[in-house]
């Protein structure tokens, strides 16, 4: 029995997901050869795909809430070393915003989803008519509310209502961050129980995410089969998927080989070529594990022993970065949301694009540093702007290689910021 389990465990999940994707495509094409094939796929396979998406949506709010509260309360030293804390968070947010803007620009410029055959888009819109209509209503509502509608959208008036509505992710984020900040202001020994509670809750929720992601190969197979039959076997969707992947890869390479080296050149005394050489093994580790949390020890080692960052800075900046700073993830999420909207023929208003920017910046903070951490969060970002979460099926099959790349970018972003902050701190120390 034991042997059986270990044999099974040897096939990595991402290969199973890829196999699921291929199986789904084959099943979809096979079904199209029969009269009732598409109907059978719709009635007997698609529900499993939908259950998978629902499970992801189910866990999204608890995950975002608990990981944000944990992330913010984890900044316990922020008051002790407040300048370090302020600088760290400020730079993290700025780099994330730039990464998201890169993703949005790439998605809008390349328009990978528009390659899909237009006749198929009309057919798809029919399928998702309910969400598309809600999306239109949302855009109109946004337009009639003036330029600050977006800010107004962040603040909830009722937390239970926000928690019971998957489109209200910004509300949940607002409450979680507010709760975390208030918790920081209360003496720690008075709230020890609550902090421990959140630590334990986080472990349970991450386990739930793990179970759900293990179901991914089957969910992806079902969704893919449904997608192929929905598209009537039209291959243009795969062409657009390839362009989507290339767009993401290009963005990741820009972040890794242009953006960070430029930051290093501008704000530190290190040569950017030396920086790239030294971070390479860490990037490789992140690339193979697809988890920035699992890479943390290597990230710390790289920062301290290879980039010369002081332990004082790295021990604060890097663990915080694992949760808060995910440039690769946020850039990827922005491209994905635009891609899915384009494939489904959903026109996004400028305000919706602004909401996507804000949401991807904030949601990358709530994304766990584990393989596939993005899917869970993406379901929420999609629903929040009125795009059907089932659209995720389009990109799940090829997620793993992109996940590997974005994880490498995430950790490179963390060490870049650590190096910049260390250089600034050193200067301050010398000036004293
Ligand atoms: N795998 C990524 C990480 O650990 C998270 C994601 O799915 O984007 O950094």
CA 95, chain centre distance (Å): 15
Determine the atom of ligand 1 nearest the C-alpha atom of 372.
7
**Among the atoms of ligand 1, which is closest to the Cα of residue 294?**
4
DSSP 238-255: HHHHHHHHHHHHHHHHHI
Say what the pLDDT of residue 228 is: 84
Q: Is 278 in the pocket of ligand 1 (CB under 6 A)?
A: no
Rounded distance from Cα 158 to ligand 1 centre (Å): 31
Tokens, residue 46: 């698609």
Structure tokens at 47: 């529900």
Q: Which of 321, 326, 375, 415 to mutate to test the pocket of ligand 1 (most atoms within 8 A of CB)?
A: 326
Q: What is the distance, to the nearest Å, from the Cα of residue 339 to the centroid of all Cα atoms in its chain?
A: 14
Print burial letters for 236-259: b (CB count within 10 Å at least 16), e (below 16).
bbbebbebbbebbeebbebbbeeb
What pLDDT score does 45 carry? 92
Ligand 1 within 6 A of CB of 405:
no
pLDDT tens-digit series, residues 206-217: 888 888 888 888
Q: Encoding tokens for residue 259?
A: 């953006």
Q: Dig out the tokens for 309 from the structure.
A: 């960052």
pLDDT digit string (tens) for 101-155? 999 999 999 999 888 776 666 656 565 555 555 555 655 555 555 556 556 667 8
Give the pLDDT score at 6.
46
Name the stretches of the chain with pLDDT < 70: 1-9, 75-83, 118-153, 166-167, 169, 429, 431-432
CA of 149 to the centre of ligand 1 (A): 31
Longest Cα separation, the chain: 80
DSSP state at residue 45: I
Hey, whose CA ends up nearest to atom 3 of ligand 1? Answer: 369
Pair of tokens at residue 92: 């993290």
Q: How far is the CA of 323 from the centre of ligand 1 (A)?
A: 10
Looking at residue 5, what is its pLDDT? 44
Buried b (16+ CB within 10 A) or exposed e, 154-193: eebeebeebbebbebbbbbbbbbbebbeebbeeeeeebee
155: left (phi over 0), alpha (psi -120 to 50) or beta: beta
Find out whether 314 and 353 touch, Cβ atoms under 8 Å: no
CB 303 near ligand 1, within 6 Å: no
Please tell me the pTM assigned to this model.
0.78
Closest CA to 418 of 331, 317, 350: 317
386 φ/ψ sector (left φ>0, alpha ψ -120 to 50, else beta): left
Mention every residue, 6+ apart, whose C-beta is less than 8 A from residue 54: none
Distance in Å, CA 364 to ligand 1 centroid: 9
- How far from chain centre, in Å, is Cα 414? 16
Tally of CB atoms within 10 A around 115? 18
Using the mean position of ligand 1's atoms as its centre, give its distance from the Cα of residue 402 in Å: 10
């Amino acid at each position: 029995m034991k042997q059986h389990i270990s044999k099974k465990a040897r096939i990595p999940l991402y290969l199973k997901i890829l196999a699921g994707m291929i199986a789904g495509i084959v099943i979809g094409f096979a079904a199209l050869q029969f009269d009732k094939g598409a109907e059978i796929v719709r009635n007997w396979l698609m529900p499993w795909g939908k259950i998978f998406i629902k499970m992801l949506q189910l866990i999204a709010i608890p995950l975002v809430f608990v990981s944000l509260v944990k992330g913010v309360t984890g900044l316990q030293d922020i008051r002790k070393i407040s300048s370090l804390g302020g600088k760290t968070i400020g730079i993290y947010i700025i780099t994330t915003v730039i990464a998201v803007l890169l993703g949005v620009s790439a998605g809008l410029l390349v328009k990978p989803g528009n390659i899909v055959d237009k006749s198929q888009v009309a057919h798809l819109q029919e399928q998702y008519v309910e969400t598309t209509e809600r999306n239109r209503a949302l855009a109109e509502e946004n337009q009639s509310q003036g330029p600050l509608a977006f800010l107004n959208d962040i603040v909830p008036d009722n937390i239970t209502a926000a928690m019971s509505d998957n489109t209200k992710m910004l509300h949940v984020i607002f409450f979680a961050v507010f709760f975390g900040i208030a918790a920081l202001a209360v003496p720690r020994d008075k709230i020890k129980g609550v902090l421990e509670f959140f630590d334990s809750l986080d472990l349970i929720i991450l386990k739930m995410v793990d179970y759900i992601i293990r179901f991914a190969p089957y969910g992806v197979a079902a969704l893919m089969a449904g997608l192929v039959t929905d598209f009537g076997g039209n291959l243009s969707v795969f062409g657009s998927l390839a362009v989507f992947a290339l767009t993401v890869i290009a963005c990741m390479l820009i972040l890794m080989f242009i953006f960070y080296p430029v930051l290093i050149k501008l704000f530190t005394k290190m040569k950017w070529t030396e920086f790239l050489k030294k971070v390479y093994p860490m990037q490789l580790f992140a690339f193979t594990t697809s988890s920035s949390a699992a890479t943390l020890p290597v990230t710390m080692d790289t920062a301290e022993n290879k980039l010369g960052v002081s332990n004082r800075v790295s021990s604060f900046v890097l663990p915080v970065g694992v949760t808060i700073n995910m440039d690769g993830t946020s850039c990827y999420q922005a491209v994905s949301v635009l891609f899915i909207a384009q494939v489904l023929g959903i026109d996004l208003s400028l305000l919706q694009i602004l909401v996507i920017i804000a949401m991807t910046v904030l949601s990358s903070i709530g994304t766990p540093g584990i393989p596939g951490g993005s899917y869970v969060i993406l379901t929420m970002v999609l629903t929040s702007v009125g795009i059907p979460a089932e659209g995720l099926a389009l990109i799940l099959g090829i997620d793993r290689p992109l996940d590997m790349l974005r994880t490498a970018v995430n950790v490179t972003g963390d060490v870049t910021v650590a190096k910049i902050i260390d250089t600034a701190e050193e200067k301050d120390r010398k000036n004293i």
